[in-house]
Amino acid sequence: MQPRTRTSAISTPSRSDPGARPPALTYVVGAEHDAQRLDNFLLRELKGVPRQLVYRLMRIGRVRCNGRRAKPEQRLRAGDEIVLPRPRMGERAQQELRNPRLAPVAYEDGDYLVFDKPAGLAVHGGSGLSHGLIEAARQVRKQASLELVHRLDKETSGLLVVAKTRRGLLHLAAQLRDGGVAKEYRALVCGRWSGEHARIALPLRKVPAAAGGRRSVVADDGGRAETACRLLKQHAAGADLSLRLLTGKTHQARVHLASVGHPIIGDERYGSRERNRELARRGCRGLMLHAAKLRFALPNGEKLTLTSLAPERFGRAVAALARE
């Protein structure tokens, strides 16, 4: 769906009139976006615009739906009219748009695009970044309909699913909600792991982080969260684990493992900074968490299983752990 205005969705001030306000953007919601959240609709339409700017416009009341102030979680209806000021972008954001960074494609069909994301690549803009993998994918492929189905932390590598169609998005979102998606991770953790199998079931709740953003904490009033752990190999200075996420809470694996005394190596948010620095000097650099396997059903009923090999940094880290 195209905005009624024919000018670009991103503009810069006119040199002849630096104080001129850019014209507003107006969208009319089509039937294909009926019941979609307002924030998801705008993040897709305003490709390349920093995520935090889109949310700020909603927070301060600059986004109107049918003449009324609109909230991010508001569900849209076909025929709704959305009006907002045309966002302006700084030089950094424009530079990122000119040089988009994509990840290798692990799988693609008519409904899904699965990336094998490297560590260090943000999934979406925000937290100081104006551009991420999803914005780059929309720009390079010229497909504004691309939507994230789930997320990976910036420093986590591995398989990431993007929906190409609304049918694919709703189909996979339902499986995620009902536990129909199998997600397996590989992690290198500190300490000596006891036993071969373990299941961590600690409720998690999101709270504001001191440095901005959000973090998860173990709390009695938190939501259900379960992680199944299997020991692959014990090394002198740490353990190599396979993890199955039975629920999908924010930072779930990282918080669960840290809470039982085995933080993931390289985890600066939930782990030991002193221990991370020590291991980094020995060759263990970066967050040692990799989304290694995904299994879910396609809309046609076929079961899809995808596997991603751990990056080279895991091999270097394992060698360092074995030497210590």
DSSP-assigned letters across all residues of 109-139? -SSEEEEEEPTT--SSSBTTBS--HHHHHHH
DSSP-assigned letters across all residues of 162-227? EESSHHHHHHHHHHHHHT--EEEEEEEEESPPPSSEEEEE--EEEEE-TTSSEEEEE-TTSB--EE
Q: What is the pLDDT of residues 4-32, one digit of tens each?
A: 433 223 333 333 344 445 568 888 887 77
272 contacts 258 by C-beta, under 8 angstroms: no
pLDDT score, position 15: 35
Contacts of 185 (CB under 8 A, 6+ apart): 158, 242, 243, 244, 245, 253, 289, 290, 291, 292
Q: What is the pLDDT of residues 196-230, one digit of tens each?
A: 899 999 999 988 876 656 789 999 999 999 999 99
CA–CA distance, 92 with 198 (Å, rounded to integer) = 46
* Residue 4 CB neighbour total at 10 angstroms: 11
Query: In this structure, which topology does domain 180-323 adopt according to CATH?
Result: Pseudouridine synthase (3.30.2350)
CA–CA distance, 136 with 143 (Å, rounded to integer) = 10
DSSP-assigned letters across all residues of 253-272? HHHHHHHTT-PBTT-TTTS-
> Is the pLDDT score of 306 beyond 90?
yes
Sign of the C-alpha dihedral computed for residues 190, 193, 199 and 203 taken in this order: negative
Query: In this structure, which topology does domain 92-163 adopt according to CATH?
Result: Pseudouridine synthase (3.30.2350)
Q: What is the pLDDT of residues 40-65, one digit of tens each?
A: 889 878 866 777 788 889 999 999 99
pLDDT score, position 188: 96
pLDDT score, position 189: 95
Where does the pLDDT of residue 90 fall: very low under 50, low under 70, confident under 90, or very high at 90 and above?
low
Q: Confirm whether 240 is a catalytic residue.
A: no
Annotated catalytic residue: which of 39, 80, 153, 240? Answer: 153
Domain 24-88: CATH superfamily, name plus number? RNA-binding S4 domain (3.10.290.10)
180-323 matches 92-163 in CATH topology: yes
Q: Report CA 129 to chain centroid distance, whole Å.
A: 13
324 contacts 284 by C-beta, under 8 angstroms: no
Q: What is the pLDDT of residues 240-259, one digit of tens each?
A: 999 999 998 889 999 999 99
CA–CA distance, 310 with 162 (Å, rounded to integer) = 20
**Mean per-residue pLDDT, 187-198:** 92
B/e letters for 252-281, b = 16+ CB within 10 Å, e = fewer, are: bbbbbbbebebbbbbbebbbeeebbeebee
pLDDT score, position 162: 94
pLDDT score, position 210: 67
* Amino acid symbol at 314: F
CA–CA distance, 214 with 216 (Å, rounded to integer) = 7
Beta bridge partners of 216: 206
**Residue 11: DSSP 8-state:** B
User: What are the structural domain ranges in the chain?
Assistant: 24-88, 92-163, 180-323
Residue whose token pair is 């014990």 = 234
Average pLDDT, the chain: 84
Q: Helices 51-59 and 38-45: crossing angle, nearest 10°?
A: 130
Sign of the C-alpha dihedral computed for residues 190, 193, 197 and 202 taken in this order: negative
